[in-house]
């Protein structure tokens, strides 16, 4: 194998690929061969670096140079300046937004300093399509250790001691789940990896599968050994073509190396993995629904018990874990339960991956120890709120979660604290909102999602959520009454108490938590018929200030519905009956004459 | 089966039967079969569902039930350039709704519809995971990031030249 002096790591995650990182990769390769540097410089495509805000990312090793927003045209300069002359390309370096200084070493970036990457340990570091690179980072060592040195009971004991809880949202102890599935007697059992990441705004499972697919394969095999299963299935969203491709490549390579298939590593243990595709149904993240979908049925949940650990896929005992949960397993085996349990809080051990998005400067994928505060995540890692606006809320847990506010900023993040604060961990979506976001509209947005995704099997979820959204629509139109607010609260409680599965039992959470934390906004919509954030169109009017209007006609010319009347050099007026409140006039006015009432 | 042969071309039908065979005509593999069938036909009209039901020895009602349950499957043909606007939370809070309104206004279609000339169809999707580029619009396989309502015209323009 050639020994390279310099490695160029190009992000090949979905976000960066959307900004031409593939063309960049080819340009770098071409320039290197043009200069005859093939034996000294290596370019590889890696998984996601997490810093999606500034993609495409190129990292140069070994000196940790971190180039951001690199275009295909920058390839020549990187090779000529950095690689050949040893001078970093200053204009592409990440700039500290506060000090305006260029950061020459990525370890010193605020975004990475507070992170601890366990599940994401290989993402952005290795070539996910090359099994040797995974093995070079202790890959498949944990599987070897389990098969040759440990009994299944001992492995389960390690998992239980580590305190690892399910990262898909439920937070059920992973070791305990394995133990229960092991105890179920059957001729065939299954290991299922839940990669049906449907929570809008969360993309950690996809990034792990794109950036480090072998970690999941290795963990599934370890789980198979523990519960006595010879078959594994990955249920993955069809919307993730790149993750599917990389996973297929990884499975094929693992088979070629004798790490999957008959008689793994010559130990007599057999295990293989197949893929099953989702088809766009959020409820399939629920494990019983997921199992029905794998059987070729409508993905409707059924009552538990029986739990899948007892009767799951094709009626056989089935152990379902999420991608991120699996990604933690090999490290726990290699480094020990005590090490893992020393990270995090008492009841939530280890780290959690969050997808940070919304009105925040550093959008991206982060992994932090449990117990970190929201303030650290939003201000230190996330770099604060976009455009210097005021922080209003952060939504965690997706459509099943709730909104946390200013007063929760110093609460340590773990499973139990988030539930106590009226939200939940969920799969790890974290959407930051600022002063311009209307919380009633946000509640409506999530409800809209739930209504669309409700499978319709049970009445509280199918009918109840529909009624909830009708009330919210009424409030946003300025037709709400105080009785509606009572109805919202009561109906939410009934839906939570009586729905069949997790989807319905949590769907009113966005409504309840916004009512709890932002009740004054609901009151403003209902009593004053005003939307304080100026988002609800029915409740606002665009008005032209007669004093500032110079009659330039820019607004009238740009109005798509000709709602603005006025002579040249005369004051203009908006006909409220015609106005569709698109805001074009306000955008085009150079004299600040248009305002919102 | 005669009516099916009239509407679908025989070559396509036998391709569809091959897909079913590839999965051992196992009705447990229905979703995988539907994925491949949709790839072949572009959509899943009733005739296609009937062929699949027949091959997998299940009822057309069962196939229809599954097709309509999952949002990935469609019974109407998509436009030549399918436009999808991401309505994930990250895109929503960065103004995806205004972008969608602009597409609706310019193309004069609703979500889920195709323009009369068959050129564009409009749909929403939930999170492509490119939240750093929010709001995101996909046209076919191509991703457009940081789309503003003003930029919508240019995106459509790229495909109407």
Chain CA centroid to CA B46, Å: 15
Q: Does the residue A536 lie in any domain?
A: no
Q: What is the average pLDDT score of chain A? A: 94
Whether residues B35 and B103 share a domain: the answer is no
Whether residues B148 and B98 share a domain: the answer is yes
Name, of A415-424, B50-59, B68-77, B135-144, the range with top average pLDDT. B50-59
Report whether pLDDT(B4) > 50: no
CA distance, residue B4 to nearest chain A CA (Å)? 24
Q: Mutate which of A11, A12, A15, A385 to test chain B, going by most B C-beta atoms within 10 A? A: A15
**CA dihedral sign of residues A370, A376, A381, A385:** positive
Q: Does the residue B130 lie in any domain?
A: yes
Domain termination site, one of B69, B99, B125: B69
Whether residues A452 and A418 share a domain: the answer is no
Contact B72 A297 (CB under 8 A): no
CATH of the domain at A546: 3.30.70.20
Query: Measured between CB atoms, which of A52, A295, A431 is closest to B93?
Result: A431
Whether residues A188 and A265 share a domain: the answer is yes
Whether residues B65 and B85 share a domain: the answer is no
Reference A365, options A18, A112, A137; nearest CA is: A112
Whether residues A460 and A486 share a domain: the answer is yes
Whether residues A445 and A430 share a domain: the answer is no
pLDDT digits (tens, 9 = 90+) for A373-398: 999 999 999 999 999 999 999 999 88
Among A143-157, A215-229, A279-293, whose mean pLDDT is lowest? A279-293
Give the chain A residue nearest B126 (alpha carbons): A200
Q: Does the residue B74 lie in any domain?
A: no
Report whether pLDDT(A506) > 70: yes
CATH of the domain at A222: 3.40.50.11540
User: How do beta strands A190-195 and A318-322 pair?
Assistant: parallel
Whether residues A97 and A41 share a domain: the answer is yes
Domain termination site, one of A492, A526, A560: A526
CATH of the domain at B146: 3.40.30.10
Q: Does the residue B85 lie in any domain?
A: yes
Contact A15 B29 (CB under 8 A): no
CATH of the domain at A516: 1.20.1440.230
The predicted structure's pLDDT at residue A89 = 95
The predicted structure's pLDDT at residue A31 = 96
DSSP state of A412: B
Contact B31 A15 (CB under 8 A): no
CA distance, residue B161 to nearest chain A CA (Å)? 23
Whether residues A281 and A407 share a domain: the answer is no
User: CA gyration radius for chain B?
Assistant: 18
Q: How many domains does chain B have?
A: 2
Chain A residues in contact with B30 by the CB 8 A cut-off are 296-297
Whether residues A419 and A443 share a domain: the answer is no
pLDDT digits (tens, 9 = 90+) for A268-313: 999 999 999 999 899 999 999 999 999 999 999 999 899 999 999 9
The C-alpha atoms of residue A262 and residue A332 are separated, in whole angstroms, by 25
CA distance, residue A243 to nearest chain B CA (Å)? 12
Chain A residues in contact with B90 by the CB 8 A cut-off are 200-201, 357-358, 363, 431
Q: Does the residue A517 lie in any domain?
A: yes
Q: How many domains does chain A have?
A: 5
Whether residues B46 and B13 share a domain: the answer is yes
The C-alpha atoms of residue B106 and residue B152 are separated, in whole angstroms, by 9
**Token pair for residue A82?**
């950095």
Q: Does the residue B20 lie in any domain?
A: yes
Give the chain A residue nearest B106 (alpha carbons): A560
pLDDT digits (tens, 9 = 90+) for B35-85: 999 999 989 999 999 999 999 999 999 999 999 999 889 998 889 999 999
DSSP state of A55: P
Contact A296 B66 (CB under 8 A): yes
Task: Tell me the ipTM for this assembly.
Answer: 0.87
Query: Measured between CB atoms, which of B26, B29, B127 is closest to A203?
Result: B127
Whether residues B93 and B122 share a domain: the answer is yes
Whether residues A246 and A335 share a domain: the answer is yes
Q: Does the residue B75 lie in any domain?
A: no
Q: Does the residue B110 lie in any domain?
A: yes
Chain A residues in contact with B20 by the CB 8 A cut-off are none
Reference A402, options A375, A429, A378; nearest CA is: A429
Q: Does the residue B113 lie in any domain?
A: yes
Q: Does the residue A126 lie in any domain?
A: no
Whether residues B36 and B100 share a domain: the answer is no
Chain A residues in contact with B125 by the CB 8 A cut-off are 239
Chain B residues in contact with A19 by the CB 8 A cut-off are 133, 145
Identify the domain containing residue B119 by its residue range.
Answer: 81-158
Whether residues B29 and B93 share a domain: the answer is no
The predicted structure's pLDDT at residue B2 = 39
Please tell me which residue, B133 or A193, carries the higher pLDDT value.
A193
Identify the domain containing residue A413 by its residue range.
Answer: 351-434
Chain CA centroid to CA A429, Å: 5
Q: What DSSP letter does each residue of A551-591 carry, written as one string?
A: ---HHHHH-TT--EE--TTS--EE-TTT-----HHHHH-SS
Contact B134 A363 (CB under 8 A): yes
Query: Measured between CB atoms, which of B28, B93, B130 is closest to A358?
Result: B93
Chain B residues in contact with A449 by the CB 8 A cut-off are 126
pLDDT digits (tens, 9 = 90+) for A120-135: 999 999 999 999 999 9
Whether residues A503 and A569 share a domain: the answer is no
Backbone phi and psi for residue A474, each to the nearest 5 degrees, phi listed first: -60, -45
Chain A residues in contact with B70 by the CB 8 A cut-off are 278-281, 299
């Amino acid at each position: 194998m050639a020994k390279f002096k310099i490695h160029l790591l190009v992000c090949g995650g979905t976000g960066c690929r959307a900004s031409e990182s593939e063309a960049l990769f080819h340009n770098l390769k071409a320039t290197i061969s043009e200069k005859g540097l093939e034996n000294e410089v290596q370019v590889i495509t890696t998984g996601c670096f997490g810093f999606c805000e500034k993609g495409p990312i190129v990292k140069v090793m070994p000196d940790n140079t971190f180039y951001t927003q690199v275009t295909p045209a920058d390839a020549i300069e990187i090779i000529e300046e950095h690689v050949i002359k040893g001078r970093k390309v200053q204009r592409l370096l990440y700039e500290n937004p506060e000090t305006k200084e260029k950061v020459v070493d990525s370890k010193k970036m605020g975004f990475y300093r507070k992170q601890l990457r366990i599940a994401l340990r290989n993402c952005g570091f290795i070539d996910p399509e090359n099994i040797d690179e995974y093995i070079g980072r202790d890959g498949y060592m944990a599987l070897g250790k389990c098969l040759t040195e440990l009994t299944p009971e001992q492995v389960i004991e390690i998992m239980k001691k580590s305190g690892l809880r399910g990262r898909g949202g439920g937070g059920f102890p992973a070791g305990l789940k394995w133990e229960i599935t092991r105890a179920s007697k059957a001729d065939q059992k299954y290991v299922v990896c839940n990669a049906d990441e449907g929570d809008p705004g969360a993309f950690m499972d996809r990034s792990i599968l794109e950036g480090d697919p072998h970690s999941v394969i290795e963990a599934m095999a370890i789980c198979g050994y523990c519960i006595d299963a010879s078959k594994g299935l990955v249920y993955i969203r069809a919307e993730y073509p790149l993750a599917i491709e990389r996973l297929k490549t990884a499975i094929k390579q693992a088979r070629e190396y004798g790490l999957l298939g008959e008689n793994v590593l010559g130990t007599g243990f057999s295990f293989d993995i197949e893929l099953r595709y989702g088809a766009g149904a959020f409820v399939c993240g629920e494990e019983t629904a997921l199992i029905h979908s794998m059987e070729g049925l409508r993905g409707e949940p059924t009552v538990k018990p029986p739990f899948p650990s007892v009767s799951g896929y094709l009626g056989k005992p089935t152990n379902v874990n999420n991608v991120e949960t699996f990604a933690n397993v090999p490290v726990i085996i290699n480094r020990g339960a005590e090490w893992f349990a020393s990270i995090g809080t008492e009841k939530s051990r280890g780290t959690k991956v969050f997808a940070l998005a919304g009105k925040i400067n550093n959008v991206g994928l982060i992994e932090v120890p449990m117990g970190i505060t929201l303030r650290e995540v939003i201000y230190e890692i996330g770099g604060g709120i976009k455009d210097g606006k005021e922080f209003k809320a952060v939504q965690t847990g997706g459509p099943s979660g709730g909104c946390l506010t200013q007063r929760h900023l110093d609460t340590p993040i773990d499973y139990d604290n988030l539930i106590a604060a009226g939200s939940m961990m969920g799969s790890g979506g974290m959407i930051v909102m600022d002063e311009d976001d209307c919380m009633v509209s946000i509640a409506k947005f999530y409800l809209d999602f739930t209504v669309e995704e409700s499978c319709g099997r049970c009445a509280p979820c199918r009918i109840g959520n529909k009624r909830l959204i009708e009330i919210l629509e009424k409030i946003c139109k300025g037709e709400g009454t105080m009785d509606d607010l009572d109805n919202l609260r009561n109906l939410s409680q009934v839906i939570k108490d009586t729905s069949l599965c997790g989807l319905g039992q949590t769907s009113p959470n966005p409504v309840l938590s916004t009512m709890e934390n932002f009740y004054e906004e609901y009151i403003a919509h209902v009593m004053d018929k005003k939307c304080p954030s100026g988002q609800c169109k029915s409740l606002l009017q665009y008005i032209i200030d007669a004093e500032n209007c110079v009659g330039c006609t820019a607004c009238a010319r740009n109005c798509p519905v000709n709602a603005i009347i006025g002579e040249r050099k005369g004051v203009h007026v908006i006909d409220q009956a015609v106005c569709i409140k698109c805001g074009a006039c306000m955008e085009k006015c150079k004299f600040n004459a248009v305002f919102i009432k | 089966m005669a009516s099916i042969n009239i509407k679908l071309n025989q070559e396509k039908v036998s391709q569809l039967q091959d897909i079913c065979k590839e999965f051992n005509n196992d009705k447990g593999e229905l979703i995988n079969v539907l994925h491949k069938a949709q790839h072949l036909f572009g959509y899943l009209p009733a005739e296609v569902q009937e062929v699949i039901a027949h091959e997998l020895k299940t009822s057309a009602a069962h196939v229809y039930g599954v097709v309509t349950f999952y949002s990935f499957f469609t019974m109407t043909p998509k436009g030549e350039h399918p436009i999808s606007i991401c309505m994930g939370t990250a895109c929503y809070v960065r103004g995806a709704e205004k972008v969608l309104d602009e597409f609706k206004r310019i193309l004069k279609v609703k979500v889920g519809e195709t323009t009369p000339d068959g050129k564009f169809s409009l749909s929403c999707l939930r999170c492509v995971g490119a939240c750093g580029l929010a709001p995101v619009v996909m046209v076919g396989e191509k991703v457009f990031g940081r789309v503003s309502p003003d930029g919508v015209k240019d995106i459509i323009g790229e495909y109407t030249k």
